[in-house]
Amino acid sequence: MTDTNIIEMRRITKRFGAVTANRSIDLSIPARTIHAIVGENGAGKSTIMKILYGFYSADEGEIFIDGIRREIRSPHDAIALGLGMVHQHFMLVPPMTVLENIVLGAEPGHSARIDFKKAEDQIRKLSDDFGFHIEPRTLVADLSVGQQQRVEVLKALYRGAGILILDEPTAVLTPQEVEEFFRILRGMRDQGKTIIIITHKLNEVLAISDNVTVMRDGQVVGEKTTSETDAAELARLMVGRDVLLRVEKPAAVAGHPILRVSGLNLDRRLKDIDFEVRAGEIVGIAGVEGNGQTELIEVLSGLLYPDSGRIILDGQEFKGATARRAKEMGIAHIPEDRHARGLLLDFDLADNSILGTHYRAPAAPSAIGLIDYAAVHHKADRLIRDFDVRPTNSALPARALSGGNQQKLIIAREFDLHPKLILVAQPTRGVDIGAIEFIHRKLVELRDAGTAILLVSAELEEVLSLSDRVLVMYQGKIVGEVDPQNVKQAEIGLLMTGGKKEDETK
The pLDDT, as a whole number, for residue 205 is 94
Q: What is the pLDDT of residues 258-304, one digit of tens each?
A: 999 999 999 989 999 999 999 999 999 999 888 999 999 999 999 99
Residue type for position 504 = E
Are 208 and 180 in contact by the 8 Å Cβ rule? The answer is: no
Query: In Å, what is the CA distance from 21 to each residue of 15, 49, 150, 187?
Result: 6, 12, 31, 34
Are 365 and 372 in contact by the 8 Å Cβ rule? The answer is: yes
Q: Is 5-239 a domain of CATH 3.40.50.300?
A: yes
Q: What are phi and psi for residue 357, nearest 5 degrees? A: -130, 20
Q: Where in the chain is the domain with CATH 3.40.50.300?
A: 5-239, 274-504
- Predicted confidence (pLDDT) at residue 506 exceeds the cutoff of 50: no
Q: What is the pLDDT of residues 437-475, one digit of tens each?
A: 889 999 999 999 999 999 999 888 899 999 999 999 999
Residue type for position 372 = D
- Predicted confidence (pLDDT) at residue 367 exceeds the cutoff of 80: no
Of 26, 32, 31, whose CA–CA distance to 13 is shortest?
A: 26
In which region does residue 381 sit, left (phi positive, over 0), alpha (psi from -120 to 50) or beta (all else)?
A: alpha
- Predicted confidence (pLDDT) at residue 503 exceeds the cutoff of 70: no
In which element (H, E) is residue 103 found? helix 98-103
Q: In what order do the strands lie in the sheet with 19-30?
A: 19-30, 5-16, 60-65, 68-70
Helical segments of 330-482, H only: 349-352, 373-386, 403-415, 433-448, 460-466
Weakest-pLDDT range from 33-42, 74-83, 206-215: 33-42
Helices 145-158 and 116-130 pack at an angle, to 10 degrees, of: 110
d(CA 93, CA 106): 15
d(CA 242, CA 219): 19
Of 60, 59, 73, 51, whose CA–CA distance to 7 is shortest?
A: 51
- Predicted confidence (pLDDT) at residue 7 exceeds the cutoff of 80: yes
Query: In Å, what is the CA distance from 175 to each residue of 44, 62, 152, 180, 466?
Result: 28, 39, 19, 9, 18
pLDDT band at 403 (very low <50, low <70, confident <90, very high): confident
Look at the domain 274-504 and name its fold: Rossmann fold (3.40.50)
Query: In Å, what is the CA distance from 130 to each residue of 53, 186, 407?
Result: 23, 10, 40
Q: What is the pLDDT of residues 87-139, one digit of tens each?
A: 877 889 999 999 999 998 777 665 557 788 999 999 999 999 998 889 999 99
Would you give the DSSP letter of residue 97? Answer: B
